[in-house]
């Protein structure tokens, strides 16, 4: 017989056999009273199945909740970061497009300004036919002593045609190709232009000089000593020039001094054109010799 069977047999024979219903009731009531008293006086120390479950389950549940919260926040952060990167990339692309549009608008505005200037130049000389051209090459470093334009013989361009812009005389065509031409500027070293005041008198010579390269100034020689060039400092191409049409603005005289002998003056001429910033020009398609023929026929 096993131990538990022996204990059960002992309780059945020794205790339960002598236990009356009244005694059993008293025993049960006593046990209940004792448990109630213990629960009342030591309720903070009482341990119930629910409290045991709380000690085990609640921390586990809290841990699960914390882990879930961390994982959820990490996923949200990852999604937010991905969205932020996509948004930044989209904004950068939009910014590039806006900058490109702004650059195009600025370029268009600049071209419109140039075109308005060229239109103004054509209005100043309605008697001449002109062809607009773009500069596509430059042999100079700091200025346009010699440059190439995008119009040639196919467009009616010929050598010795005068080239201007809205500010004044630039130079003359010295070489032509089928779809391009080379222009030599008045600032080229050794380039001579016969000049006069706006009144049409007092001829002098304006010459490009290498020592003044990039300064926007030319040499002035052979001006009559009795002419006050500071009063009417503007110089234009003269009527006696062989290649340059008359009346084209060259620049403004300055630093004029009387030469030895007192008969002539020398000085400098500040060009009306800024030769460091050229982009579009006008080629006057009327040649000087053609104009002379017209004048001679009158």
Per-residue model confidence (pLDDT) at position 11: 57
Cα–Cα nearest to 193, from 214, 215, 164, 165:
164
Query: Which residues lie below 8 Å from residue 253, measured CB to CB, with a gap of 6+?
Result: 220, 223, 229, 230, 233, 235, 267, 268, 269
**How large is the average pLDDT for residues 54-79?**
58
Percent of the chain at pLDDT > 90 equals: 26
Report pLDDT for 258. Answer: 84
Structure tokens at 296: 């001679």
Q: Which residue has the higher pLDDT, 280 or 77?
A: 280
The answer to whether residue 273 scores a pLDDT higher than 80 is: yes
pLDDT grade, residue 176 (50/70/90)? very high
Highest mean pLDDT among 64-68, 117-121, 283-287: 283-287
Instruction: Mark out the alpha helices in the chain (DSSP H runs).
Output: 3-10, 21-41, 49-124, 288-297
Task: Specify whether the CB–CB gap between 140 and 189 falls below 8 A.
Answer: no
Say what the pLDDT of residue 128 is.
Answer: 85
User: In Å, how far are 42, 68, 104, 142, 146 from 138, measured between CA atoms?
Assistant: 106, 71, 24, 10, 6
> How many CB atoms are closer than 10 A to CB 285?
17
Answer whether 274's CB lies under 8 Å from 233's CB.
no
Domain 130-297: state its class.
mainly beta
Residue 174 has pLDDT above 90, yes or no: yes
Residue that wins the pLDDT comparison between 187 and 57: 187
For residues 149 and 183, is the Cβ–Cβ distance under 8 A? yes
Whose CA is closest to 195, among 167, 213, 176, 219? 219
What's the confidence (pLDDT) of residue 260?
Answer: 84
What's the pLDDT band for 53 if we cut at 50, 70, 90? very low
Q: Is the pLDDT of residue 70 over 60?
A: no
Answer whether residue 118 shows pLDDT above 60: yes
Render pLDDT for 193-221 as a digit per residue (tens, 0 to 9). Answer: 999 888 766 688 999 988 777 788 899 88
pLDDT confidence bin for 46, thresholds 50/70/90: very low
pLDDT the model gives residue 56: 47
The predicted structure's pLDDT at residue 162: 96
Give the least confident one: 43-52, 252-261, 287-296. Answer: 43-52
Residue 5 has pLDDT above 80, yes or no: no
Query: How far is it, in rounded angstroms, from Cα 269 to Cα 216?
Result: 8
Choose between 14 and 83: higher pLDDT: 83
Of residues 156, 79, 59, 164, the one with CA closest to residue 120: 164
pLDDT value for 125: 78
The span from the CA of 277 to the CA of 166, in Å, is 13
Q: Is the pLDDT of residue 272 over 90?
A: yes
Contact call for residues 130 and 284 (beta carbons, < 8 A): yes
The lowest-confidence range among 16-25, 215-224, 231-240 is 16-25
Query: What is the structure's pLDDT at 15?
Result: 57
| Residues sharing a CB contact under 8 Å with residue 137, sequence separation 6 or more, in sequence order | 147, 148
């Amino acid at each position: 017989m096993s131990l538990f069977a022996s204990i059960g047999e002992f309780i059945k024979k020794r205790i339960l056999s002598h236990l009356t219903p009244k005694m059993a009731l008293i025993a049960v009531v006593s046990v209940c009273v004792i448990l109630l008293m213990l629960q009342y006086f030591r309720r903070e120390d009482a341990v119930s199945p629910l409290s045991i479950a709380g000690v085990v389950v609640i921390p586990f549940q809290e841990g699960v909740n914390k882990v879930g919260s961390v994982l959820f926040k990490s996923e949200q952060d990852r999604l937010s970061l991905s969205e932020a990167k996509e948004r930044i990339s989209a904004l950068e692309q939009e910014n590039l497009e806006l900058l490109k549009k702004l650059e195009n608008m600025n370029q268009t505005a600049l071209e419109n300004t140039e075109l308005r200037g060229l239109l103004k130049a054509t209005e100043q000389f309605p008697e001449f036919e002109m062809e607009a051209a773009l500069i596509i090459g430059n042999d100079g470093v700091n200025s346009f002593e010699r440059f190439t334009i995008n119009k040639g013989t196919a467009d009616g361009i010929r050598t010795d045609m005068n080239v201007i812009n809205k500010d004044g005389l630039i130079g003359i065509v010295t070489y032509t190709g089928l779809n391009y031409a080379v222009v030599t500027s008045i600032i080229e070293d050794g380039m001579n232009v016969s000049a006069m005041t706006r009144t049409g008198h007092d001829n002098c010579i304006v010459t490009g000089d290498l020592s003044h390269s990039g300064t926007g100034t030319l040499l002035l020689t052979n001006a009559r000593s009795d002419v006050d060039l500071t009063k009417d400092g503007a110089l234009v191409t003269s009527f006696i020039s062989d290649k340059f049409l008359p009346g084209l603005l060259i620049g403004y005289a300055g630093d004029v001094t009387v030469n030895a002998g007192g008969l002539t003056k020398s000085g400098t001429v500040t060009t009306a054109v800024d030769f460091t910033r050229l982009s579009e020009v006008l080629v006057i398609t009327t040649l000087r010799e053609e104009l002379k023929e017209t004048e001679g026929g009158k």
